[in-house]
Amino acid sequence: MRECREWIIGKEESGQRVDKFLSEAVAEFSRERLKEIFEEGNVMVDGKPTKPSLRLKSGDAVSALLPETEILRVEAQDIPLHIVYQDQDIAIIDKAQGMVVHPAPGASDGTMVNALMYHMDHLSAINGVIRPGIVHRIDKDTSGLLVVAKNDIAHRKLAAQFAEHSITRAYSTVVHGVLPNQKGTVDAPIGRDPHNRKAMAVTERNSKRAVTHYSVIAKYQEYTHLDVRLETGRTHQIRVHMKYIGHPVIGDPLYGRNTELDRGFDGQLLHAYLLGFRHPSSGEYIEFRSELPQYFYRLIAKS
């Protein structure tokens, strides 16, 4: 038994590859399974089977004949959650390192979403049952601040701010080596790494512009403590850009150097310490800060 799903492409999706569009539209299927669905001829644009690389245009009708999948049931779990602030529209969460933001097939519990469902009565439904309330994400081993939407109106208004890059986001990180300048900007496009599908890379192929600004907090003999500001929000952006300029984030299991120093940490030294935006109801600009985790100080105190 197969299910046919259909979408009409809007202006925001125009220019996107059809495989990228579907990977987000049907999150319950892995990339490998979607590849098989394309090969079977079960993805069509305007009624004709299409290749994964096709660039979509506004007004295109996309349809996919999808196999039945096991319904992912996400249960509320009594998991400790650091709630910095909340009101009827939003909640600010200070996520611990090692916590996954939302469930995925094969990993339906122990995530921030499971905890949110236990601690909160209402969450926006725009992203479906797997990602209720989730407006944006940070990596599993990145700690720090996220905003969660408690209703659909708040979700749309927050998502619009992310789309127009008006959200203030700053990170603290420690990278290998000593940077020669006190501040700088990395303006380099990021896309899927052609040699490793689990990683991202600076590439001109199927990529999007990515801009990262950094300034030095302190320089040490073997590493540098940085304040990093995002102008865009690409997957793994800071980690990829720091590797690109030859100063990967310490502890990064995917983009790091795997030295003895890296292996002394459970994940990358990257903390989202600042988050600011216009409140979806009042329109007032609000800002939140998070203290550095202790594992940062363990490293800095050695110098």
The upper half-sphere exposure of residue 250, i.e. CA atoms within 13 Å in the direction of its Cβ, equals 23
Known catalytic residue at 139: yes
Per DSSP, the three-state class of 25 is: helix
Of the candidates 111, 261, 96, 75, which has an alpha carbon nearest to the alpha carbon of residue 175?
261
Task: State which amino acid sits at residue 198.
Answer: K
Which helix (H) or strand (E) segment holds residue 2: the answer is strand 2-8
Task: State which amino acid sits at residue 156.
Answer: R
Question: Which residue among the candidates 139, 141, 252, 262 is catalytic per the annotation?
Answer: 139
* CA 237/CA 230 separation, integer angstroms: 8
Joined together, the tokens standing for residue 138 give: 């940070």
Of the candidates 114, 119, 80, 85, which has an alpha carbon nearest to the alpha carbon of residue 100?
114
Active site residues: 139
